[in-house]
Amino acid sequence: MIKSIQIQGYRGFSEFEMKDLARVNLLVGANNSGKTSALEALYLLASQGDPNSLWRVLWRRSERLPDRAAGNSPELDMCHLFTGHDMRMESRFGFKAEGDKSDRDVTFSIGEIGDEPRSKPPVREGVPLSSRFGLHIKGHPTPTAPIIPLSRFGGLSADALEMPRRMQRKFASDQGMLSQFITAESYSGNELIALWETVALTSNEERVLNALRLLEPSIEKIASVSVTHDYYGGGNQRGGFRAKFKDVERPVPIGSLGDGIWRLLVMAIAIAQCKDGILLIDEIDTGLHYSVMADMWKLIYGAARELNVQVFATTHSNDCIQSLAEVCCSEEEAGGNVTLQRIERGIKKSVAYTSKEIEAAAARGIEVR
């Protein structure tokens, strides 16, 4: 498990540290304080610089350059990953984590792809860069790809990922951490079906059903169905699953049951993919009524302990914090296994609350968000 993480030069964090991390960690703070950025840092660290993870982080925030290539090939703008949105020669950001068994770190920096450095390296301020520049990735364990080529505008293109993919076969490390990053937009149906195939007909299937029964107790079972992108359109956001209800003959599409059911389905399937790894959930309370949050936390906490998963989640909701306090009070082993990390903009360290302090704050109505 990760016990602490240091972040340098990433987005709004010129320098930041979270310490005293536990099995389940809830990140709180005002808007634009850096909660989601902290999750991204953990995600990129866990993947050890995997270029596909980098692409997902940029794509999720729609950080794209105007179409510059023939055929409107998407190109993502790397500069927003650097503090101050300033990307130039030798700009860098990185993460370092201390674990209970081993430490890990990864650093991303801008540099030449070729062997001969330039005497006056160009700067990314609206002026095209040389196409010989790339994002260099170093760390421990060895990153999956040591360099990702960038376009002359400092962008990351889908075509550029082909070079790192070839390198991955040579430099691939078996020391990466399994991770899943759940955002407010969640997974599309097609993405979730692929994960479901590893859960169906295993002991984890019952865990998924129990999660859905928090909102719909009469659900007996669920199944994935074959879908096509064109049929559902728009990315097939919630296609692909049906639920069988007790005393109802016809299966019901899960997408028609509301945000909460889909959110619980995603979380329950995702945590089953993270054995001995980490689960990252942005805005964990999205779509959930306060009355089911305590049961949701019990499900997350139980699965995390059973599967040896470390959970990091964010929230703005006081109900979500109060519900976590209930779990701290009811679960005998919660002490030392649950923390709340308050992140404040411009402050270099988070404020950590233990499970006992979370309970006390909730009981006394002390604001910790």
Last residue of one domain, picked from the residues 259, 282, 304: 259
More confident residue, 93 or 87: 93
CATH number for the domain spanning 28: value is: 3.40.50.300
Query: Is 269 inside a domain boundary?
Result: no
CA pair distance 235, 214, nearest whole angstrom: 28
CA pair distance 24, 92, nearest whole angstrom: 30
Residues of the domain holding 69: 48-171
Sign of the dihedral through C-alpha 314, 320, 322, 327? negative
Q: What is the mean pLDDT of the chain?
A: 85
The verdict on 85 and 125 lying in the same domain is yes
Query: Is 81 inside a domain boundary?
Result: yes
**Average pLDDT, integer, range 110-119:** 65
- Tokens matching residue 143: 């990153």
- What per-residue confidence (pLDDT) applies to 82? 96
The verdict on 67 and 167 lying in the same domain is yes
The verdict on 121 and 202 lying in the same domain is no
pLDDT digits (tens, 9 = 90+) for 171-195: 444 556 789 999 877 677 778 888 8
Helices (H), strands (E): how many in the chain?
10, 17
Contact 339, 355 (CB under 8 A): yes
The verdict on 104 and 201 lying in the same domain is no
- What per-residue confidence (pLDDT) applies to 116? 46
Query: Is 176 inside a domain boundary?
Result: no
In sequence order, the 6+-apart residues with CB closer than 8 A to the CB of 131 are 149, 150, 151, 152
Query: Is 10 inside a domain boundary?
Result: no
- What per-residue confidence (pLDDT) applies to 71? 52
pLDDT of 353 strictly over 80: yes
Residue type, 346: G
Query: Is 4 inside a domain boundary?
Result: no
pLDDT bracket for residue 324 (50, 70, 90): very high
Would the pTM of this model clear 0.95, i.e. be above it?
Answer: no
For residue 226, what are the β-bridge partners?
Answer: none
Lowest mean pLDDT among 79-93, 101-115, 344-358: 101-115
Query: Is 152 inside a domain boundary?
Result: yes
Query: Is 337 inside a domain boundary?
Result: yes
Give the chain's domain count: 3
- What per-residue confidence (pLDDT) applies to 352? 95
The verdict on 89 and 132 lying in the same domain is yes
pLDDT bracket for residue 120 (50, 70, 90): very low
Query: Is 183 inside a domain boundary?
Result: no
The verdict on 31 and 114 lying in the same domain is no
Residue type, 277: G
